[in-house]
Chain A
Amino acid sequence: MVDTNKFVSLINVNKFYDNGMHAVTDFNLDIAKNEFIVFVGPSGCGKSTTLRMIAGLEDISGGELYIEGKLANDLEPVDRDVAMVFQSYALYPNMTIYDNMAFPLEMRKDMLPLLDKDGNPVLDEKGEAKLVLRKYTKGEIDTRVKEAAKILEISDQLNKKPKALSGGQRQRVALGRAIVRKSKILLMDEPLSNLDAKLRVYMRSEIVRLHEATDSTTIYVTHDQTEAMTMASRIVVMSKGFVQQIGTPEEIYRHPANKFVASFIGSPAMNFVDCIMDKNVLRFSDGHEVTLETSIIDWVKKFYTEQLADHKANEAKFIEERRAQLEREFKAQKHLRKKEFKFDETTDKEVIKYKEGIAKMEELIKTHNYPLIFGIRPEAMKEDEKGDEYEVLLSELLGDEYYVHLMFGGKECLAKVPAEKKITKGTKIKLSFSLDKVHLFDPITEKAIF
């Protein structure tokens, strides 16, 4: 019996390209049935590549992919029961919309009820239809296409060709083509990027509704964090081929695992200010101080001790992996293949950084002097009569609220303030924030301490 919590499983999936580039590193994820998973991250982070590996359009260089409990690495896309929506829609230009949507059904065989000569399903003793692997009949195709067209509200476009449709309509056809097969897994590769902003907002909810109506498991790729936050049941944040964090939108928003996730998710982005933690006080460059609860200090100490131990233990491994990666890239370049690969760990930038990191951490623990990165979201700064006063450097009106630029801790930061009164440059406002909305990051590894 298939473990529905592991409807789709990726175990240590890696992707190497011929030019040596390591596009996806150690991707691990279990996807439960009916989840709406979003891979989000900047361009080049590996999200599309991972999606394509799940689809079967790219080979999996290392690791395993399981779909419904079966090892799927070597399966053709057709055999994986996945359907895909492409960023450019990839509609067949010379066919009508009807034919575009009928095409997937014409091409495959599925377990369908056995039909007798008159087209009626043959029933067994229990009164249930017997399933056989066969092609779809014209009638069945017709029903399915019309069904999908109705859900997507394009029933009156069926006789037109793609070039006669608008961008939004074409996108629906692409969706229609994907759902017509009623496949268990739906893959979407940035389907909304080519639409204008308003349409995008509208389609976001449409896609989620579609996901629920078709009872599918959806894996969705986007670079837009708003889409990720509003649509996902769980988000996978990626950067440079590595998974940064996996969690529900709330988890990711409230407890980002590192500085990257914190800055990527949430708009406008979180404010980051350097500070130094001295005993239980955070001191900023302009003298401003924030007092902490003692518990945070212990937490920080513990964090660094663990990190140091971890780094020391993995130092050799890190160097070896770095060497292997450089060698891979070197060997991949044809004109250098004849030459010798040289690796000097004393001059390699990454290795030096790693070692410096260890040294810094040792230093920190000795001196109890921790330089940290203080993070606070603009929306966490609230107007408070008892708060500190700030002078507004610039204010941007968004209708119902202002983005206010001000100096905090010696750095220009952003605060979101409701637009109850007019705020302009030079206005003085009083803001405060609660300590549980404060995030602290380690400047060496950029991981979140708190």
Chain B
Amino acid sequence: MAKTKKEASMKRNRIIDTIWSNGLLIILALVWIIPIVWVILASFSTQTEFMTDSVFPKEYTIDNYVRLFTETDYPIWIGNTALIAVTNTVLTTLFTVLTAYALSRFRFKMRKLFMNITLILGMFPGFMSMVAVYFIFNMMGLIDSIWGLLVYYVAGAGLGFFVCKGYFDTIPKDIDEAIHMDGAPHIVAFIRVYLPLIMPIIIYTALLAFMAPWADYILAGILLSDTNRTVAVGLYEWMDEYHINSYFTLFAAGSTLVAIPITALYISLQRFFVEGISAGAVKG
């Protein structure tokens, strides 16, 4: 096994490299995972207070989960948010994709204007329109209705066409012309040829649309009352200084429950998500 000095030192370098690279990576992974592990474990803790002697629980129970469903409004929140999420996914994805298709495949007079206005609208702090929407919804009687939230989300669907459109733009014009020569109207082309081609981006858009209501605190907080909440608003309240000491483990349980399906969705659809981000980034 006598190798040259150079090979031996290269091998040694390699071993050192492996050790510190893997080591560093493990430490970083731990840093990222520990808070999550902590919350999950805390959700099984018997002690409901936040301030405890030990970092991780000493005794475990599923009591918190039970209380979540029997003693709090959590089920209502989950129900509301899930309902909005599902409907939002369908409607928003539909309108976003339709808008992207229209802007990509057609050339009409107001097209550049529409794109420019969308760009400018995106530069306003999103919050500004929400306050006005509160007043408008008040007048329309949509306050304290989850459908009000939905209407707002879907109304903005047309503004998020950017990534979808970028994808559509990569489909060569030839296909359009072949479809035209074959006698199919645009709507048939859209359903039978374009949608299947764009599947990864549609899934990405749908994923984002599904996730949005679970994370929206601002609008949900403005529009909904105390009894008709979504998950984001409800959980937030449990973590404020007044509630944290009694509600912390409930919060942990609630968060874990919410996080599981979403994380699962994310990981299984990871591939589409990456494709969506790269498309958004590289195409500018």
State the A residues within 8 Å of B (CB): 55-57, 77-78, 82-84, 86-95, 103-104, 107-108, 177
Contact between B174 and A103 (Cβ–Cβ < 8 Å)?
no
Please classify how large the interface on chain B is, using the bins under 10, 10 to 19, 20 to 34, 35 or more.
10 to 19
Contacting residues, chain A, for B180 (C-beta < 8 A): 56-57, 77
Closest Cβ–Cβ distance, residue B54 to chain A (whole Å): 56
Residues of A within 8 A of B188 (CB): 107
Is A104 within 8 A of B183, CB to CB?
yes
CB distance from B234 to the nearest CB of A (A): 43
Interface secondary structure of A, over-half rule:
loop
Known: A86-B174, A107-B188. A92 touches B181 (CB 8 A): no
Would A84 and B181 count as touching, CB distance under 8 A?
A: yes
CB-CB nearest in chain B for A78: B183
Q: Are B196 and A94 in contact (CB under 8 A)?
A: yes
Known: A86-B177, A92-B192, A94-B197. 13 other contacts (CB 8 A): A57-B177, A57-B181, A78-B181, A84-B178, A86-B174, A86-B178, A88-B172, A89-B174, A90-B178, A92-B175, A92-B193, A107-B184, A108-B182
Give Cα distance in the complex from A87 to B197, angstroms. 21
Q: How far is the CB of B180 from chain A (nearest CB, A)?
A: 6
Chain A, residue nearest B174 (CB) = A90
Q: Which 9 A-B pairs have the closest CB atoms?
A: A78-B183, A90-B174, A90-B178, A94-B196, A104-B182, A107-B183, A108-B183, A107-B184, A84-B181
Q: Digitize B162-190: 1 where CB-to-A-CB distance is under 8 Å, 0 elsewhere.
A: 00000000001011011111111000100
Is the pair B193, A77 in contact by a Cβ cutoff of 8 Å? no
Decide yes or no: A90 and B175 within 8 Å by CB, A57-B180, A78-B183 being known contacts.
Answer: yes
A83 engages B197 (CB within 8 Å): no
Residue of A nearest to B199 (CB): A94
Q: In the complex, what residue of chain B is closest to A77 when comparing beta carbons?
A: B181
Please report the C-alpha to C-alpha distance between residue A95 and residue B195 in the assembled complex, in whole angstroms.
12
Q: For the complex, what is the distance from the CA of A108 to the CA of B192, rounded to whole Å?
A: 15
| B174 and A77 contact, CB distance less than 8 A | no
B193: chain A residues at CB < 8 Å are: 92, 94-95
Kindly list chain B residues whose C-beta atoms are within 8 Å of the C-beta of A90.
Answer: 172, 174-175, 177-178
Within 8 A of A (CB), among B101-131: none
Closest Cβ neighbor of B176 among chain A residues = A90
- Within the complex, the shortest CB–CB distance from A100 to chain B, in Å, comes to 9
What residues of chain A lie closer than 8 Å to B182, measured between beta carbons? 78, 103-104, 107-108, 177
Q: A94-B193, A94-B196, A107-B188 are in contact. Are A88 and B174 (CB under 8 A)?
A: yes
Q: Which A residue's beta carbon lies closest to that of B195?
A: A94
Q: When chains A and B are docked, how far (Å) is the Cα of A157 from the Cα of B161?
A: 37
30 residue pairs A–B, Cβ–Cβ below 8 Å: A55-B181, A57-B177, A57-B180, A77-B183, A78-B181, A78-B183, A83-B181, A84-B177, A84-B178, A88-B172, A89-B174, A90-B174, A90-B177, A90-B178, A91-B178, A92-B175, A92-B179, A92-B193, A93-B197, A94-B193, A94-B196, A103-B182, A103-B184, A104-B181, A104-B182, A104-B183, A107-B182, A107-B184, A107-B188, A177-B182
Q: How far is B216's CA from A253's CA once the two chains are assembled, in angstroms?
A: 75
Give the residues in chain B near A55, CB-CB below 8 Å.
181
Report B15 CB to chain A, min CB distance, Å.
44
The chain B residue with its CB closest to the CB of A89 is: B174
Count of A-B contacts judged by CB separation below 8 Å: 55
Nearest Cβ on chain B to A387's Cβ, whole angstroms: 53
* A359→B196 CA distance, assembly (Å): 66
Q: Which residues of A sit under 8 angstroms from B179, Cβ to Cβ?
A: 92
User: Chain A CB within 10 Å — which of B179, B181, B188 has the most?
Assistant: B181
What is the minimal beta-carbon distance from A294 to any residue of chain B, in angstroms? Answer: 57
B-chain residues with CB within 8 Å of residue A89 when the two chains form the complex:
174
Nearest Cβ on chain A to B284's Cβ, whole angstroms: 24
Min distance, Cβ A106 to any Cβ of chain B, angstroms: 8
> Closest CB-CB distance, A272 to chain B, in whole Å?
39
What residues of B have a CB within 8 angstroms of the CB of A91 in the complex?
178
Interface centre among A83, A84, A90 (most CB of B within 10 A): A90
B236-248 near A? 1/0 per residue, CB < 8 Å: 0000000000000
CB nearest neighbor in B for A92: B193
Nearest B residue to A91 by beta-carbon distance?
A: B178
Residue of A whose beta carbon sits closest to that of B193: A92
A82, B181: Cβ atoms under 8 Å?
yes
Chain B residues with Cβ below 8 Å from A107 are 182-184, 188
In the bound assembly, the distance between CA atoms of A95 and B193 in angstroms comes to: 8
Shortest CB-to-CB span from A218 to chain B, Å, is: 15
Interface string of B207-234 (1 = CB under 8 A from A): 0000000000000000000000000000
Q: Provide the residues of chain B in CB contact with A177, threshold 8 Å.
A: 178, 182
- Output the nearest chain A residue to B173 by Cβ-Cβ distance: A90
Residues in B with CB closer than 8 Å to A82 are: 181
> Chain B's nearest CB lies how many Å from the CB of A126?
32
> Bound complex: CA of A104 vs CA of B188, how far in Å?
12
Cβ contacts under 8 Å, A86 to chain B: 174, 177-178
Instruction: With both chains docked as a complex, state the minimum distance between the C-beta of A289 and any C-beta of chain B, in angstroms.
Output: 56
* A194: min CB distance to chain B, Å: 12
CA distance A23 to B50 in the complex (A): 77
Tell me the bound Cα distance from A57 to B179 in angstroms.
Answer: 11
Q: Please, how many angstroms separate the alpha-carbon atoms of A177 and B177 in the complex?
A: 14
Using Cβ atoms and an 8 Å threshold, which residues of chain B touch A103? 182, 184, 192
Shortest CB distance B193–A (Å):
5
* Chain B residue at smallest Cβ distance from A55: B181
A58 to B182, CA, bound (A): 16
Chain B residues with CB under 8 Å of A88's CB are 172, 174
Report the separation of the CA atoms of residues A398 and B30 in the bound assembly, to the nearest whole angstrom: 71
A33 to B192, CA, bound (A): 35
B51 to chain A, nearest CB (A): 58
Q: How far is the CA of A78 from the CA of B181 in the complex (A)?
A: 6
Q: B175 — which chain A residues lie within 8 A by C-beta?
A: 90, 92
Bound-state CA distance A107–B191 (Å) is 13
Min C-beta distance of A354 to chain B, whole Å: 38
Tell me the bound Cα distance from A364 to B204 in angstroms. Answer: 75
